Amino acid sequence: MSELLEQLNETTAFIRQQCTSAPTIGIILGSGLGNFIGEMQVETEISYSDLPHFPVSTVEGHSGKLIFGEMGGKKVIAMAGRFHFYEGYTPQQVVYPVRVMKMLGVETVLISNAAGGVNKNFAVGDLMIIRDHISFFAINPLLGKNEEKLGARFPDMSEPYSQSLIAKAKSVADRLQIPLQIGVYTGVTGPTFETRAEYQLIQILGGDAVGMSTVQEVIAAVHAGMQVFAMSVITDIGIREEENTITHEEVLQAARDAEPKLTAIFTQLIANL
């Protein structure tokens, strides 16, 4: 057995000692979006620092614990706080929790993030369903020897985001009268926000939004055979005429302001799965 599989088995064994829940849905929450947990019927919380082989979140807005419970009649596991390449973690560490979810029986992953708007038609506070992504600027987490028990050497990425889940989310949003954007997310390493020239390049490449997370997690989830749905909260507009700067505090505040809408969509989507 490989070292990675041994570590995953140790982590999942520890979790099963602490929690008897068998989640089928995994949720990864982005910056400023942690209050979503308030909608869950929480059964067990485990701090990342207590989990064998688990990284520890270091970014403001990420609380750092696995939360097990029920939502919409479904057993779920939520990550309150995720890991980023820019924190100094390897891509394999960034996606470790996704692989743990798979080992626990998760079949569907819902992901949220805070992102910068590149599409000129977007506004701060918009919600964007991710229909596809550009990952050329992020390090692929599948580099190195492939672990066949986790997935194929060359996973197909023609539909990384489930079209059926996108259709369900759009139906939910229509019913709730919540306007949505839909577009392409571009993943970058961070931690710097993008220059004006970089925003322009991303726009030329076809990106509608840009952020420092998500694509590595999605690649690992698709590699493991899980369905993925992801949504961005547009927390700032990158291509702009006025001379202003972007701060992490403003990003967090914009995410918090939009959180009730995202929570409503995720909650109803989970109930409809």
Domain ranges, ordered by start, for the chain: 3-272
The angle subtended at Cα 159 by Cα 153 and Cα 161, nearest 5°, is 110
Asked which of 92-101, 183-192, 234-243 is least confident by mean pLDDT, the reply is 234-243
> What is the pairing mode between strands 227-237 and 127-134?
antiparallel
Instruction: Determine what percent of the chain falls in helix, strand and coil, rounding each to the nearest 5.
Output: 35, 25, 40
The predicted-structure confidence for 48-81, as pLDDT tens digits, reads as follows: 989 999 987 665 555 688 999 999 899 999 998 8
% pLDDT > 90, the chain: 74
In angstroms, how far is the first alpha carbon of the chain from the final one? 34
What pTM was computed for the model?
Answer: 0.93
Please name the fold of domain 3-272.
Answer: Rossmann fold (3.40.50)
The predicted-structure confidence for 206-230, as pLDDT tens digits, reads as follows: 999 999 999 999 999 999 999 999 9
pLDDT at 59: 59
